Amino acid sequence: MQHPEQEKSETDYIEDFKAKIDWSLAPKHARWWAVDANGQANWFCEPDVAARTDFWLSEPVRAPRFDFEGNWKKSLIERH
């Protein structure tokens, strides 16, 4: 067990974790990766407006978890 001041902050964990995401596995238009409350990781693509509609369309695509162990609410990571 680590001493409290040696434990990584949630922010530090997310920053370090970003390097583990293998974007080469993502769909071409994927812009974000995140884990939901059920522990499922997904790629999220930029939304599109469907022809003859007035709403956005964007379906999540299942993704590897890359051993993510953090808070799912902080897991949204943007592709750079």
DSSP reduced 3-state for 14: helix
Q: What is the pLDDT of residue 52?
A: 81
How do residues 4-35 score in pLDDT, each as one tens digit? Answer: 545 679 999 999 999 999 999 999 999 999 99
Residue range(s) defining the domain that contains residue 26: 4-78
Bridge partners of residue 70, in order along the sequence: none
| Nearest alpha carbon to residue 32 among 22, 46, 19 | 46
How do residues 43-77 score in pLDDT, each as one tens digit? Answer: 999 887 777 878 777 789 999 999 999 999 999 99
Average pLDDT across the chain, whole number: 88
Number of domains in the chain: 1
Give residues with Cβ within 8 angstroms of 13, minimum separation 6. Answer: 69, 70
- Which of the four pLDDT bands, split at 50, 70 and 90, describes residue 40? very high
Neighbour tally for 60: CB within 10 Å: 15
Tokens of 28: 């071409």
Q: What is the pLDDT of residue 3?
A: 46
